[in-house]
Structure 1
Amino acid sequence: MNLTGFASPWWFLLLLVVAAVVVGYVLAARARRKRTLRFSNLALLERVAPSGKRWTRHVPSALLVVSLLLLTFALAGPTAEQKVPRNRATVMLVMDVSLSMEATDVEPTRLKAAQDAASQFAEGLTPGVNLGLISFAGTATVLVAPTTERDGVTHAIRNLKLAQSTATGEGIFAALQSIESFSAVVGGADGPPPARIVLMTDGKQTVPQDEYAPRGAFTAAAQAKEKKIPVSTISFGTSHGSVEIEGKEVPVQVDDASMREIARLSGGDFYKAATAEQLGEVYDSLGEQIGYETKDTDASRPWVVLGTLVLFAAAASSLAIGRRLPD
Structure 2
Amino acid sequence: MSLSQFTAPWWLLFLAVIAALVVGYVLVQKQRAKHTLRFTNFALLEKVAPSRPGRWRHIPAILMVVALVFFTVALAGPTADKKVPRNRATVILVIDVSLSMQATDVEPTRLAAAQEAAKSFADGLTPGINLGLVAFAGTASVLVSPTTNRDATKVAIDNLKLSERTATGEAIFTSLQSIDTLSAVLGGSDQAPPARIVLLSDGKQTVPENSDDPRGGFTAARQAKDKGVPISTISFGTTYGRVEIEGDRIPVPVDDASLKEIANLSGGSFFTASSLEELRQVYDTLEEQIGFETTRGDASRPWLVLGVVFATAGLTIALVRRQRLP
**Residue type matched to 1:123 in 2?**
D
Tell me the distance in 2 between the aligned counterparts of 1:42 and 1:80: 61
- Change over 3 Å in CA distance of 1:312–1:117 after alignment to 2: same
1:206 paired to 2:206: yes
Instruction: Please list, as runs of the form range in 1=range in 2, the aligned pairs for 1:87-106 lying within 5 A after superposition.
Output: 87-106=87-106
Aligned length, in residue pairs? 325
User: What's the offset of the Cα at 1:142?
Assistant: 1.3
Question: Alpha-carbon deviations, 1:60-104, whole Å to 9, x = none?
Answer: 322221211111122223333444433333211011112222333
Instruction: Please list, as runs of the form range in 1=range in 2, the aligned pairs for 1:77-226 lying within 5 A after superposition.
Output: 77-186=77-186, 191-226=191-226
Q: Does the CA contact (< 8 Å) of 1:4 and 1:81 recur in 2?
A: no
Tell me the distance in 2 between the aligned counterparts of 1:26 and 1:257: 70
User: What's the offset of the Cα at 1:160?
Assistant: 1.2
Q: Which residue of 2 aligns with 1:289?
A: 289
Secondary structure of 2:177's aligned partner: helix
Tell me the distance in 2 between the aligned counterparts of 1:160 and 1:79: 47
- Change over 3 Å in CA distance of 1:10–1:184 after alignment to 2: farther
User: What's the offset of the Cα at 1:26?
Assistant: 4.5
Q: Which residue of 2 aligns with 1:239?
A: 239
User: What's the offset of the Cα at 1:230?
Assistant: 1.4
- Change over 3 Å in CA distance of 1:246–1:4 after alignment to 2: farther
**Residue type matched to 1:171 in 2?**
A
- Change over 3 Å in CA distance of 1:30–1:190 after alignment to 2: farther
**Residue type matched to 1:172 in 2?**
I
Q: Does the CA contact (< 8 Å) of 1:3 and 1:79 recur in 2?
A: no
Secondary structure of 2:93's aligned partner: strand
Question: Alpha-carbon deviations, 1:228-275, whole Å to 9, x = none?
Answer: 221111112233334344565543332111111111111222222223
**Residue type matched to 1:232 in 2?**
S
Q: Does the CA contact (< 8 Å) of 2:91 and 2:146 recur in 1?
A: yes
Q: Which residue of 1 aligns with 2:318?
A: 318
Tell me the distance in 2 between the aligned counterparts of 1:150 and 1:280: 17
User: What's the offset of the Cα at 1:319?
Assistant: 1.8
Tell me the distance in 1 between the aligned counterparts of 2:79 and 2:261: 38
Q: Does the CA contact (< 8 Å) of 1:2 and 1:81 recur in 2?
A: no
Deviation larger for 48-57 or 201-210: 48-57
Tell me the distance in 1 between the aligned counterparts of 2:221 and 2:37: 86
Q: Does the CA contact (< 8 Å) of 1:4 and 1:80 recur in 2?
A: no
Question: Alpha-carbon deviations, 1:152-202, whole Å to 9, x = none?
Answer: 110111111222221100111111222233234446668333222111112
User: What's the offset of the Cα at 1:220?
Assistant: 0.9
- Change over 3 Å in CA distance of 1:268–1:35 after alignment to 2: same
Q: Does the CA contact (< 8 Å) of 1:242 and 1:249 recur in 2?
A: yes
Deviation larger for 14-23 or 161-170: 14-23
- Change over 3 Å in CA distance of 1:31–1:109 after alignment to 2: closer
Percent identity, please. Answer: 62
Secondary structure of 1:233's aligned partner: strand
Q: Does the CA contact (< 8 Å) of 2:3 and 2:9 recur in 1?
A: no
**Residue type matched to 1:156 in 2?**
A
Structure 2 gap ranges (5+): none
Q: Does the CA contact (< 8 Å) of 1:234 and 1:272 recur in 2?
A: yes
Tell me the distance in 1 between the aligned counterparts of 2:282 and 2:317: 57
Tell me the distance in 1 between the aligned counterparts of 2:140 and 2:248: 26
**Residue type matched to 2:93 in 1?**
L
User: What's the offset of the Cα at 1:14?
Assistant: 2.0
Tell me the distance in 2 between the aligned counterparts of 1:41 and 1:107: 94
**Residue type matched to 1:252 in 2?**
V
Q: Structure 1-normalised TM-score?
A: 0.86
Tell me the distance in 2 between the aligned counterparts of 1:92 and 1:130: 8
**Residue type matched to 2:267 in 1?**
G
Q: Does the CA contact (< 8 Å) of 1:66 and 1:307 recur in 2?
A: yes
- Change over 3 Å in CA distance of 1:283–1:63 after alignment to 2: closer
Secondary structure of 2:53's aligned partner: helix
Instruction: Please list, as runs of the form range in 1=range in 2, the aligned pairs for 1:14-33 lying within 5 A after superposition.
Output: 14-26=14-26, 28=28
1:255 paired to 2:255: yes
Tell me the distance in 2 between the aligned counterparts of 1:51 and 1:150: 74
**Residue type matched to 2:160 in 1?**
L
Structure 1 gap ranges (5+): none
- Change over 3 Å in CA distance of 1:316–1:249 after alignment to 2: closer
